[in-house]
Amino acid sequence: MSNITVAESAGFCFGVDRAVQMVYNELEKGTKVATLGPIIHNQDVVNDMSERGARIVESVDELEPDETVVIRSHGVGREIYEQIRTKGNRMLDATCPFVSKIHKIVDRKTKEGCFILIAGDASHPEVQGIVGHCDENCLVFKDNFELKDFFQNREKNFKKTLAFVAQTTYNILVWEKCLKEIPENAPDIVIFDTICNATDARQTDARELAQRSDIMLVVGGRHSSNTVKLYEVCSRYCKTYHIENSEELRTLKLPSAENIGITAGASTPAYIIKEVQTKMAEIEKEMIQEEENFEELLDQSFKKIHTGEKVKGTVVAVNNTEAIVDLGTKHTGYVALDDLTDDASKKPEDIVSVGDEIELVVIKVNDAEGTAALSKRKVDEQAGYETIVKAKEEGTILEGVIQHVVNKGVTLNVLGVRVFIPASQTGLPRGAELEQLLKKKVEFMIIEVTEGRKRAVGSIRAVQNARKEEAKAKFWETAAVGDTFTGKIKSLTSFGAFVDLGGIDGMVHISELSWKRLKHPSEVVSVGDTLEVYIKELDKESNRISLGYKKAEDNPWEIFMNNYQVGDVVKATIVSTTSFGAFAQIIDGVDGLIHISQIADRKVENVKDVLSEGDEVDVKIIDIDADAKRISISIRALLEDNADDAE
Ligand code: SF4
């Protein structure tokens, strides 16, 4: 940032401030004010006064009777005072006391018969006012050259004493040069240095500030003599700009500068100086920002991109075959469909949209054409590969759809990485058709990664095993005697059936499969049958589970006891014979004994003479031993009953 310095003496001088205040005081009192010419050379102040009711008149003739006329700080000639007195208007004399002093000097010296030489601008109102006190006995000279001319051309018989005065705002340096043109110790010359101290101080300050500044801003009206002189002073030392207010700063093409000085003419209000200072700081800030932005843009536009480099870009257009990307460089980036995705079923618009900010890899740069071929797929593959590596390390279960059946396995694509699942890892039985997995969503784990080729080997079986282990752990954690399960019979042996309880196998002993006596489990169940079983015994240490299958309500003895009693006559089937009698099945699972003495109403020597296996006979239940679960049945008792009935 630049240093912006405002000259200490910049702005309203004593005389101008006094005149301005006089007008404002009158306006506040409600006086109808007319100023004889603009009160100061500052349009903003003049406009403000005008809005408050002050009127500018160029001559006394224009005055209205009730108007108070204000003589401005520049002062006026004797004639003007006379005109006002004649017209009768109230008058406020705001002539600066320093100017009034000049009037008095020239009045007196004129009366004394001197010729008045006035250093100044003949067209300036102050100078015209001074002239108005000289009875046309004067000469206005602009600078030392005109003064030199005067002395060279002075007629020999010109005998009057010369009295020198200067416009209050006269350039001091020029005044000094003028003094050098005046013959030294000439008895007929008197010099009055009437340059105002305020002007002197302002010009000195301005000069010193200009000497240490790179540019100077001189603020004041275009017609302000002292402002113009300040401009001239400063211009000798650095680039100087004359402005009337802060708005003009925008129209200037200011160069960048380390030190900026600001000074202002005697008729420039403090608030305008402040505005200029503030605006300058703002403009400077904007310039710095613009420079920085420009440099940034320039950097970007010349930024090189290289093949293999990872870049960021914003999608600016998407068509059927590619996406166009703004990389913030001079290159036009494009991503062909193949480089957007390896999924042939997708279009560019399925992958990216206008406005998306995406990461890309540069695959080819053509500086001559200003194009860059880019790949999103490679970035995705890299990210996918990193995810795959992490998944292997952490044993994460991934999901994917089987895409191809290849030699000795299947493949799928996850996050842009090709994963091969060997047939042995598919979870299918050996020799099974792998095609059955095509287009199927599967869960798998990564068991191997090939870094260089960014390939991976997966396993569905590993997931299945993991799930089993998980289920097993959960089973052993929660299982309790009495828990019921529905499971499929996995295999049969001579001593029982093995049931899959969901990752855990339990055995139903042959004696538990039926209430009947079985020779082999296959008599009642087959592999694949679904059984409802319950945990009968649990050995968590040896991981053994005994399952129960028979239900109490199916117990044949219970059924018998609930439905039969001593004295009932039933049909029974001979199931075996012995020397002491024959066993006959009353209901499924319940046999009764027909003792040899009860087979007939006569003596039987040999059971087999009367009964054979499979014979169906009517019998009477003659005794039930509930504790020993023994039933005695009799054909003879039934025969005797029938005989009694016949009698
Ligand atoms: Fe008065 Fe000096 Fe201001 Fe002029 S510059 S008005 S002489 S104070």
Does the CB atom of residue 169 touch ligand 1 within 6 A? yes
Is the model's pLDDT at 95 over the cut of 80? yes
Does the CB atom of residue 599 touch ligand 1 within 6 A? no
Cα of 13 from ligand 1 centre, angstroms: 6
Asked if residue 555 is part of any domain, the answer here is no
Closest CA to ligand 1's atom 6: 15
Task: Please check whether residues 511 and 530 belong to one and the same domain.
Answer: yes
Percentage of the residues of the chain whose pLDDT score is greater than 70: 97
Cα of 219 from ligand 1 centre, angstroms: 17
pLDDT (0 to 100) of residue 440: 92
Last residue in a domain, options 464, 487, 522: 464
Percentage of the residues of the chain whose pLDDT score is greater than 90: 48
User: How many domains does the chain fold into?
Assistant: 7
pLDDT (0 to 100) of residue 166: 95
pLDDT (0 to 100) of residue 241: 93
Asked if residue 3 is part of any domain, the answer here is no
Closest CA to ligand 1's atom 8: 15
| Whole-angstrom distance, CA of residue 270 vs CA of residue 473 | 89
| For the CA of 96, the nearest atom of ligand 1 | 1
Asked if residue 474 is part of any domain, the answer here is no
Does the CB atom of residue 98 touch ligand 1 within 6 A? yes
pLDDT (0 to 100) of residue 165: 96
pLDDT (0 to 100) of residue 303: 65
Question: Contact, 636 vs 601, CB < 8 A?
Answer: yes
Per-residue pLDDT tens over the stretch 33-50: 999 999 887 888 888 899
Distance between the two ends of the chain, CA-based, in angstroms?
144
Does the CB atom of residue 99 touch ligand 1 within 6 A? yes
Domain with residue 117: its CATH number is 3.40.1010.20
Domain with residue 443: its CATH number is 2.40.50.140
Determine the average pLDDT of the residues in 159-174: 90
Asked if residue 374 is part of any domain, the answer here is no
Is the model's pLDDT at 503 over the cut of 90? no
Would you place residue 155 in the very low, low, confident or very high pLDDT band (cuts 50, 70, 90)?
confident
Is the model's pLDDT at 438 over the cut of 80? yes
Phi and psi of 447, rounded to 5°?
A: -110, -10
| For the CA of 97, the nearest atom of ligand 1 | 1
Asked if residue 259 is part of any domain, the answer here is yes
Cα of 54 from ligand 1 centre, angstroms: 22
Q: Which of 26, 67, 126, 381 is catalytic?
A: 126
Closest CA to ligand 1's atom 1: 15
Last residue in a domain, options 93, 127, 154: 93
pTM over the 0.75 mark? no
Task: Please check whether residues 520 and 456 belong to one and the same domain.
Answer: no
pLDDT (0 to 100) of residue 23: 92
Per-residue pLDDT tens over the stretch 278-310: 988 888 788 777 766 666 655 555 567 888 888
Pocket test for ligand 1, best of 9, 16, 124, 224 (most atoms within 8 A of CB): 16
Is the model's pLDDT at 324 over the cut of 80? yes
Strands, sheet with 68-71, edge to edge from the N-terminal-most edge strand = 55-57, 33-36, 68-71, 90-93
Does the CB atom of residue 168 touch ligand 1 within 6 A? yes
Cα of 89 from ligand 1 centre, angstroms: 26
What is the rounded average pLDDT for all residues in the chain?
Answer: 88
Asked if residue 164 is part of any domain, the answer here is yes
Which pair of tokens denotes residue 183? Answer: 């013959």
Would you place residue 577 in the very low, low, confident or very high pLDDT band (cuts 50, 70, 90)?
very high
Does the CB atom of residue 36 touch ligand 1 within 6 A? no
Q: Positive or negative, the Cα torsion across 167, 168, 169, 174?
A: positive
Which pair of tokens denotes residue 164? Answer: 């020198």
Determine the average pLDDT of the residues in 513-526: 87
Pocket test for ligand 1, best of 39, 99, 101 (most atoms within 8 A of CB): 99
Cα of 31 from ligand 1 centre, angstroms: 25
Asked if residue 469 is part of any domain, the answer here is no
Q: How far does CA 329 lie from the centroid of its chain?
A: 22
Would you place residue 566 in the very low, low, confident or very high pLDDT band (cuts 50, 70, 90)?
very high
Which pair of tokens denotes residue 221? Answer: 């009206």
pLDDT (0 to 100) of residue 296: 65
pLDDT (0 to 100) of residue 425: 92
SS3 263: strand
Task: Please check whether residues 287 and 222 belong to one and the same domain.
Answer: yes
pLDDT (0 to 100) of residue 301: 55
Is the model's pLDDT at 453 over the cut of 70? no
Would you place residue 222 in the very low, low, confident or very high pLDDT band (cuts 50, 70, 90)?
confident
Task: Please check whether residues 110 and 159 belong to one and the same domain.
Answer: yes
The CA–CA distances, whole Å, from 279 to 91, 142, 489, 544 equal: 40, 36, 93, 92
Would you place residue 138 in the very low, low, confident or very high pLDDT band (cuts 50, 70, 90)?
very high
pLDDT (0 to 100) of residue 299: 57
Which pair of tokens denotes residue 493? Answer: 């042996």
Instruction: Please count the other Cβ atoms lying within 10 Å of the Cβ belonging to residue 575.
Output: 13
Strands, sheet with 162-166, edge to edge from the N-terminal-most edge strand = 138-141, 115-119, 162-166, 189-191
H helices of 479-580, in order, are: 510-513, 556-563
pLDDT (0 to 100) of residue 541: 82
Cα of 134 from ligand 1 centre, angstroms: 20
| Whole-angstrom distance, CA of residue 363 vs CA of residue 339 | 10
| For the CA of 14, the nearest atom of ligand 1 | 8
Per-residue pLDDT tens over the stretch 111-132: 999 999 999 999 999 999 999 9
Strands 404-406 and 417-422, how do they pair? unpaired
Asked if residue 2 is part of any domain, the answer here is no
pLDDT (0 to 100) of residue 99: 94
Q: Is 372 or 294 the better-scoring residue by pLDDT? A: 372
Among 133-142, 187-196, 299-308, the minimum mean pLDDT is found in 299-308
Does the CB atom of residue 19 touch ligand 1 within 6 A? no
Among 35-49, 593-607, 622-636, the minimum mean pLDDT is found in 35-49
Determine the average pLDDT of the residues in 591-609: 92
pLDDT (0 to 100) of residue 251: 84
Q: What are the residues facing 591 on neighbouring strands?
A: 585
Is the model's pLDDT at 392 over the cut of 80? yes
pLDDT (0 to 100) of residue 539: 86
Would you place residue 615 in the very low, low, confident or very high pLDDT band (cuts 50, 70, 90)?
very high
Catalytic residue check, 126: yes
Length of the chain: 647
Residue 14 belongs to domain spanning:
10-93
Question: Contact, 600 vs 610, CB < 8 A?
Answer: yes
